[in-house]
Amino acid sequence: MDVAQIVATALAGAVTVVAVVLAVRAVLTITAVIRQGQPDPARFENPKARTKTMLVETVGHTRMFKWSAIGAAHWFVMVSFLILFLLVVEAYFEVVDPELGLPIIGHWTVFGLVTEWIGILGMAGILYLVFVRQRQKPGAVKRSRFLGSTMWQAYFVEAVIIGVLIFGFLIRGFKVATDHFEYPLWATPVSHAVGAVLPAWEDGATWAALVKIAISMTWLITISLNPTMGVAWHRFLAFFNIYFKRSPEKPAGSGLGALKPMMSEGKPLDFEEADPEKDLFGVSQVEQFTWKGLLDFSTCTECGRCQSQCPAWNTAKPLSPKLLVLSLRDHAYAKAPYLLAGGGKDLMGEEKATEAQLAHMDVLALAEGNRPLIGGVDENGIIDPDVLWSCTTCGACVEQCPVDIEHIDHIVDMRRYQVLIESSFPSEAGVMLRNLENKGNPWGAPQNTREDWTKGLDFEVPRVGEVEDFEYLFWVGCAGAFEDRAKKTTRAVATLLNEAGVNYAILGEGETCTGDPARRIGNEFIFQMLAQQNVETLQEANVKKIVATCPHCFNTLGNEYEQLGLKVEVVHHTQLLAHLVKEGKLTPVQPIEGDVTYHDPCYLGRHNRVFDAPREVLGETATLVEMPRNQERSFCCGAGGARMWMEERIGKRINVERTEEALATGAKTIAVGCPFCYTMIGDGVTGKGKQDEVEVVDVATVLLRSLKQEA
């Protein structure tokens, strides 16, 4: 070793020691914060499925490839980080002696070939991601997905990756120039090209290796000093966050479909035995989220995909799923010293710490600990109430998140506390909740009018109790029974089932609301009351299969009643109709006039992956033209999450945004598969003054018209 190698080795060793010490401290900090969360034992179940899903999503980049070009670029950057980590290790040997390399595999030509091309493609990938960030940065586009992200952190990470890759090629170039390079030209063309223009400087590889190490350790030091730097930490935490997702068997976001039940101390809350002084009723403090929730917040990459797809954000509402998660993350880490020192509030709001403990606490952490989780600017709250109540629970954020953050679960948990304990929610929703509790439906209609939709039909609708055996229970739903437009769908479906000879029956007055709007607004108590009543009714009727016209009923019956012990096969009416058409039991006679565009309901499409059946039916009856945002990227109608019963006072109406997109296709018919969507899109068309030119109807009505050729 000459002087250059001695100095370089000493500097590399010193900066590495500092970086490693700080990194260990940061890992301990992150772990300590996450451990403040509530228990969630179900996250450890089914380790084989979890491992498989984690590997498929990370190695296969299945979530990232939904945005193909960006997904491909990110894949090469990810692989270059993993593979080229070996070259950072190799740099320590090259600092000591330029002729040294990675032990064992460092002299294999295949190793040189793989690392060369990973470096080339990784450079191309990171440059493309830099280009995308610049093209879509705040100010360059309206409602940028990067708005609110900590931009310096992203620029820093991108610069580090570029720097490490450049100095990797410089090391190899100096080795080529000094004839110390072991790989042939065909395997490492870029390295040889760089070496051709570099001087034969014997110490060149040593100093280049030192700079590469310095860049890498500067990155490690920086992220260690910033444990909330999700744009960097996600490359470690994402593996864990994906592994511990709620439903590893689901191909899309694990927070879609069924909501997580209310939990206390890691167990589902039993309302008959629950005690507000001992049990959690939702979330009112950040530490009342589960440890997985705190891991979610820590893992956020700030990429803004959720933000770009959110209907609230796109219509100038204050809700951004990304900013909500970042607010909770920053609050959790700012409050952590207070919690770790013994502070915190019990369920009655009393301080846990003694006066002596409080006297020695960090003042800023103590102040953070006294901030309300939900509150306006005047209250210095973490999450503004308008943010909390803007959510339609459409699932676009969960669908798009590349690291499986479960936004909806966290939003509903906060809503639960506000509704059940604080009685704080939009006033107009109170009428809906009272109607559910007293009348069994959100409209407050008399129960004895549930069968009025059957009047005037030229056939008898069979009822449970009047027929001994039936294949399908036709779940009409509250909208299908009481709302005038939805009644048209109910009558159309009943007519089609009758013509196809399907053996079905209805519950009639024995049916009540599934409880979906109560659960999504946060009133788990009313949901449980309605759900238990329905489960008992369905079990007594020995129901095995259900067909539902409302995706919210479809989702609740099929996914959430299982939490109460009911297991039945539930299909949406478009699925059954598509099957009947394939079987030849329903045969369209002639396509209807004009093009048709189809609006995917969130709770049918994104939440439950039913995309094809409605299109198969429409494809047999009309010429289908798609809206730009369709299937898993469909734009919400604005009615989910109990928003159907809340006034939209901020920004542009979501249903108007979606209606404009539908009208832009030029279609004469907008087909829907949900009574809520029927109302919202129908109102949007009327609001645009296009009701005489464009008609909104259910898929079932389109099929019925094609069969009978009648209006």
**Alpha-carbon gap, residue 659 to 220, rounded angstroms:** 49
- Cα 357 to Cα 6, 32, 101, 182: the distances in Å are 50, 19, 54, 62
Both tokens assigned to 506: 């209805």
Q: What is the pLDDT of residues 82-97, one digit of tens each?
A: 887 888 888 888 888 8
**Distance separating alpha carbons of residues 302 and 579, to the nearest angstrom:** 43
pLDDT, position 2: 85
- Give 554-580 pLDDT, tens digit per residue: 999 999 999 999 999 999 999 999 999
Strand 695-698 and strand 669-672: pairing? parallel
C-alpha span between 34 and 299 (Å, rounded): 11
Residue 45 makes CB contacts below 8 A (sequence gap 6+) with none
pLDDT above 70 for 511: yes
Q: Where are the alpha helices (DSSP H) in 401-456?
A: 407-420, 427-439
| 605-630 confidence digits (pLDDT tens) | 999 999 999 999 999 988 999 999 99
Question: First CA to last CA across the chain, in angstroms?
Answer: 91
Share of the chain above pLDDT 90, in %: 79
228's tokens = 């909330």
Q: Which of 570, 596, 579, 605 is nearest to 496 (CA)?
A: 579
Q: At what angle do helices 151-177 and 189-197 cross, to 10 degrees?
A: 80
pLDDT digits (tens, 9 = 90+) for 411-422: 999 999 999 999
CA–CA gap between residue 616 and residue 575 (Å, rounded) = 9
pTM recorded for the entire structure: 0.93
CB atoms within 10 A of CB 248: 23
Dihedrals phi, psi of 16, to nearest 5 degrees = -70, -40
Q: Are 596 and 618 in contact (CB under 8 A)?
A: yes
Closest to 19 in 3D by CA, of 213, 158, 206, 163 = 213
Spatial distance between the Cα atoms of 353 and 485, rounded to a whole number of angstroms: 58
Looking at residue 553, the DSSP 8-state letter turns out to be H
Which of 234, 245, 235, 268 is CA-nearest to residue 47? 245
Residue with tokens 């009639």: 508
What is the band of 351 on the pLDDT scale with cuts at 50, 70, 90? confident
Mean pLDDT, to the nearest integer, of 514-518? 96
- Separation between Cα atoms, residue 68 and residue 125, nearest integer Å: 12
CA separation for the pair 679, 687 (Å, rounded): 12
Q: Is the pLDDT of residue 433 over 60?
A: yes
- In which band, very low, low, confident or very high, does the pLDDT at 461 lie, cut at 50, 70 and 90? very high
DSSP designation for 252: S
Residue 297: name the closest of 230, 224, 365 by CA.
Answer: 230
Grouping H, G, I as helix, E, B as strand and the rest as coil, residue 371 is coil
Q: Who wins on pLDDT, 635 or 4?
A: 635
The strand pairing partners of 571, in sequence order, are 547
Say whether pLDDT at 195 is over 70.
Answer: yes
Q: What distance in Å separates the CA atoms of residue 572 and residue 603, rounded to the nearest whole number?
A: 11
Q: Cα–Cα distance between 247 and 578 in angstroms, integer?
A: 28
Here the tokens at position 584 are: 């030849």
Q: Are 467 and 543 in contact (CB under 8 A)?
A: no
* Sign of the CA dihedral running 410, 411, 412, 415: positive
Contact 473, 438 (CB under 8 A): no
**DSSP structure class, residue 429:** H
C-alpha–C-alpha distance, residues 306 and 322, integer Å = 6
Confidence at residue 198, expressed as pLDDT on a 0 to 100 scale: 93
Instruction: Give dist(CA 670, CA 599) in Å, integer.
Output: 7
Most confident by average pLDDT, 58-67, 132-141, 536-545: 536-545
Q: In terms of DSSP H, where are the helices of 421-568? A: 427-439, 477-482, 484-500, 516-521, 524-540, 551-555
pLDDT at 252: 64
Give Dmax over CA atoms of the chain in angstroms: 100
The whole-angstrom separation of Cα 318 and Cα 314 is 10
Q: Is 44 helix (H, G, I), strand (E, B) or coil?
A: helix
Mean pLDDT of the chain: 93
Distance CA 155, CA 341 (A): 35
| CB distance 566 to 683 below 8 Å | no
Rounded-to-5 percentages of helix, strand, coil across the chain: 55, 5, 35
- Among 495, 500, 499, CA closest to 456: 495
Question: pLDDT grade, residue 355 (50/70/90)?
Answer: confident
Region 281-302 average pLDDT = 96
User: Using 50, 70 and 90 to split pLDDT, how confident is the model at 274?
Assistant: confident
Tell me the per-residue pLDDT of 595-605, one tens digit each, with 9 for 90 and over: 999 999 999 99
Answer yes or no: is pLDDT of 711 > 60.
no
pLDDT of residue 277: 84
Residue of 415, 424, 374 lying closest to 393 (CA atoms): 415
Asked whether the predicted pLDDT for residue 23 surpasses 80, the reply is yes
Amino acid at 664: A
CB 307 within 8 A of CB 148: yes
pLDDT given for residue 253 in this prediction: 67
CB 707 within 8 A of CB 588: yes
Instruction: Look at residue 286 and tell me whether its pLDDT is greater than 80.
Output: yes
pLDDT reading at 681 higher than 70: yes
Residue 454 CA to residue 450 CA, distance in Å, equals 9
Torsion of CA 526, 531, 532, 536, to 10 degrees: 150
Per-residue pLDDT at 3: 87
Q: What are phi and psi of 319, to 5 degrees?
A: -80, 125
Q: Which amino acid is at 412?
A: V
Bridge partners of 504, per DSSP, are: 472
pLDDT higher than threshold 50 for residue 238: yes
User: Going by C-beta distance under 8 Å and a sequence separation of 6 or more, which residues neighbour residue 550?
Assistant: 475, 477, 479, 480, 486, 674, 675, 676
pLDDT the model gives residue 710? 46
CA-nearest of 57, 55, 36 to 47 is 55
Residue linked to tokens 């309605």: 530
Residue 264 in 3-state DSSP? strand
What average pLDDT does this structure show over 203-220? Answer: 93
Judge residue 360's burial from the number of C-beta atoms within 10 Å of its C-beta, 0-12 exposed, 13-18 middle, 19 or more buried.
exposed
Q: Is 542 left (phi over 0), alpha (psi -120 to 50) or beta?
A: left
Q: How confident is the model at residue 674 (pLDDT cuts 50, 70, 90)?
A: very high
Side chain identity, residue 582: K
CA–CA separation, 315 and 666 (whole Å) = 23
Instruction: Report d(CA 100, CA 277) in Å as an integer.
Output: 66
Specify whether the CB–CB gap between 238 and 40 falls below 8 A.
no
